[in-house]
Amino acid sequence: DAGITQSPRHKVTETGTPVTLRCHQTENHRYMYWYRQDPGHGLRLIHYSYGVKDTDKGEVSDGYSVSRSKTEDFLLTLESATSSQTSVYFCATTGGGPGNEQFFGPGTRLTVL
């Protein structure tokens, strides 16, 4: 295991509130990713990071921002949560290179009421 933890594991919040999800890894992996998983859509990439302070958008980045101030931590922020952001969020890491598989965290179940 790559030693990836996510916090919180479950969260219920109200529409309009800001929410921050944390991903922590102990493997010193360069790349980190945030995905959301919804029925019928599989995993969709929100943002990814290719180094400290280096991030890029994925396919569903609207309404989300990320930050990476340390190699081991990758934060996902919902600036103003909406019900459409109710989902399961997965963090993943990889050491880099086209052949390196991703290691996933356990996921965070977020419900926006």
Partner 1 sequence: AQKITQTQPGMFVQEKEAVTLDCTYDTSDQSYGLFWYKQPSSGEMIFLIYQGSYDEQNATEGRYSLNFQKARKSANLVISASQLGDSAMYFCAMREVGTGGFKTIFGAGTRLFVKA
First to last CA, the chain: 34
Q: CA–CA distance from 79 to each of 61, 63, 64, 100 (Å)? A: 12, 7, 7, 32
Asked if 104 is part of the footprint of partner 1 (rule: CB under 8 A), the reply reads yes
92 in contact with partner 1 (CB under 8 A): yes
Q: Closer CB to partner 1, residue 55 or residue 85? A: 55
Q: Is 35 in the site for partner 1 (CB under 8 A)?
A: yes
59 in contact with partner 1 (CB under 8 A): yes
| 9 lies in the site for partner 1, by CB under 8 A | no
Applying CB under 8 A, among 3, 20, 45, 86 the residue interacting with partner 1 is 45
The answer to whether the CB of 53 falls within 8 A of the CB of 102 is no
Summarize as ranges the residues that interact with partner 1 (CB under 8 A). 30-31, 33, 35, 40-45, 48, 50-51, 54-56, 58-59, 88, 90, 92, 94, 96-99, 101-104, 106-107
